Structure 1
Amino acid sequence: FLADRTEAGIADIGYSLALSRATWDQRVAVTAATREELLDGLKAIADGGRSDRVHEGGAAFLFSGQGAQRLGMGRELCEAFPVFAEAFDAAVVELDRYLERPLREVVWGEDAGLLERTVFTQAALFAFESALFRLWESWGVTPDVLVGHSIGELTAAYVAGVWSLEDAARLVAARGRLMDALPEGGAMVAVEAGEDEVAPYLDERVSLAAVNAPGSVVLSGEEKAVLAVAERFADRRTRRLRVSHAFHSALMEPMLADFETVARELTYTAPRLPILSTVGPDVDLTDPAYWVGQVRATVRFADAVVELG
């Protein structure tokens, strides 16, 4: 079909396949930026060969954490897709109950520094990511498993049915507000090193905030101590993260009691979609204590990726 119709654009083909063709349990996907790349992928399928453009198997959705936010996110999606707009609007309405200013004004405003404030960042990512999930869901794309990085794990739990929108928004807003109210002065640094390499330097001042890959970790804690440890790896790639607070470190502990109070007032339901925890195996996502501990725990994203494989 594609070879005989040079006028057919791949964006139009993708749109039609998603919205106007039957879907089946057995599927294969081809990723391509040009007609030639698409044809190469299709030929590989037809010939029974392998190609980096051809993807088979289940689908996993990842909900990212702080750092993924940007001004204007969701605006064009709201204009183009009513399903996205409805879900985004519903989340914003619930979140605005707990925020000091309207979330939409922050996300679609011009002050990037304001959006980077934790209280708005986490709320904005929750609204955007949950609406994006509803959009994919409306197209018949249902993931086999969900994964979330830090605040993204709360979004994953919400779309999986652990909380109602009202309860999820309350928990997300409390998390961001309580973190934002903590004293500033901490630091987070991404380091090109393995967990075993940084382990000897971890203490009450320096925590392992995340293990994102076998050779990629994030340190978090008191600024001077974190920077001193990062300096030990000066021959590697290091990058200080643009964050207001030292997340997933001991500096988060002063907000945990108040956060637990909110978490225990919510209603929890078993998730209807599988979720791979980045805290550890065999966890109970319907236990408020899990979400309190998740604030402080290391984000073991690398383990979740391995499990997906």
Structure 2
Amino acid sequence: MTPGPPAAPRRRSVVLMFPGTGAQHPRMAAGLYPHEPVFAAAVDEVLGLLGPVGAEARADWLAAEPVVPMAADTRSAPLLFAVNYAMGRLVESWGVRPDGYLGHSMGEFTAAVLAGVFSLPDAVRLLWARVLMQRTTPPGGMLAVAAAREDLAGYVGGYPGGEVVVAAVNAPRHTVLSGPDGALAEVAARLVADGVTFRALAARSPYHSPALAPLVAPTVELLRPMRLGAPRTPLHSAYTTEELSVATATAPEFWAGQPTAPVLFWPTLDRLLGERDLVLVEAGPAQSLTVIARGHPAVRAGHSEVVATLPPRAKGPEEDRRCVRAARERLLALAGPRVVTPASVHSG
């Protein structure tokens, strides 16, 4: 009996992940700009919507010595969003159609654009409005603490300088605290005294804390005229830990409240990886989500896999391109090619 043709390899489900504030760094993915037309066009599309501000941000991103550093919110926010969005478009241009999206903090806006909830112009307008509105709130910061959320109960709450809260649960022993400068300094001093390991994140605002509550109402008003659509691809929210329903995805109050809500990345990841085997693709800089996801038991056991598309830090143009080539080869082996329909890739 003549054996039949070998069975086609099983296509693995793909979820694209997009990092949030803190992943940005000087010249992130800059090595792709002259060599990847899809990536470059997507970056230009985002920054073009910001007019002169976007042109200045692009010049600083590509410059060896930028005029305005990446730490400034006028650079970090638009450039991180642009790189995330462009990497998502690049991955999809390879013929890999994601079965879902997952963003961390600001990365959820990128996910929402690719899923069809926001048009790109509306998302960029909202992003820039938040940059400007954040300047009216007290200065603050964030601390990444090597401890479980429940172990930090004694460090959160009211202080003379403001309130400190849990801003993110990234892993079982990776919790982020956030608050105004004075209160956060008191917490940092207590952590040092108690021998708890932590590091300050590259954030100048107390993201995901009550300090940003004044931004919610004006953001709702900004969102009301926007036409929010039902997700065309499952959009997994690290705020609800669930796939967003149409009602939630199209509610202005949900998006407006994100600056004050904690990011529950690990519980969301835990649910996703507990349901099925996945290929998780970090479509953005720094590999912060890759490191977290590779620590999950489902990944360590080999049931699911994580693919990074960019290096963990700027290592030069050739390393950007090498990392992308390796990611493309691995992804096509695991999950593609699969025809990308007009509904799955769009610019808004």
**What corresponds to 1:201 in structure 2?**
155
> What displacement does 1:113 show?
5.9
> What displacement does 1:220 show?
0.7
Which of 131, 139, 146 does residue 176 from structure 1 map onto?
A: 131
Cα separation, 2, equivalents of 1:213 and 1:266: 34
> What displacement does 1:75 show?
3.1
**What corresponds to 2:258 in structure 1?**
294
Aligned: 1:218 with 2:173: no
Cα separation, 1, equivalents of 2:83 and 2:124: 12
**What corresponds to 1:264 in structure 2?**
224
Secondary structure (helix, strand or coil) at the match of 1:102 reads helix
Cα separation, 2, equivalents of 1:145 and 1:59: 7
Number of paired residues?
Answer: 255
Q: How does 1:100-249 map to 2 (within 5 A)?
A: 102-109=56-63, 110-111=65-66, 114-184=69-139, 186-204=140-158, 205-234=163-192, 235-249=195-209
Cα separation, 2, equivalents of 1:137 and 1:180: 35
> What displacement does 1:58 show?
2.0
Contact 1:190/1:219 (CA < 8 Å) preserved in 2?
yes
In angstroms, what is the RMSD of aligned CA positions?
2.1
Aligned: 1:26 with 2:1: no
Contact 1:248/1:298 (CA < 8 Å) preserved in 2?
yes
Contact 1:60/1:147 (CA < 8 Å) preserved in 2?
yes
Unaligned runs of 5+ in 2: 1-7, 274-348
Secondary structure (helix, strand or coil) at the match of 1:80 reads coil
> Based on CA coordinates, which of the two structures has the bigger radius of gyration?
1
Cα separation, 1, equivalents of 2:255 and 2:16: 20
Cα separation, 2, equivalents of 1:142 and 1:85: 20
Cα separation, 2, equivalents of 1:277 and 1:155: 12
Cα separation, 1, equivalents of 2:135 and 2:211: 12
Inter-CA distance 291–72: structure 2 relative to 1 (3 Å threshold): same
> What displacement does 1:64 show?
0.4
> What displacement does 1:292 show?
1.0
Unaligned runs of 5+ in 1: 1-23, 28-56
TM-score, length-normalised on structure 2?
0.68
TM-score, length-normalised on structure 1?
0.76
Cα separation, 1, equivalents of 2:40 and 2:55: 20
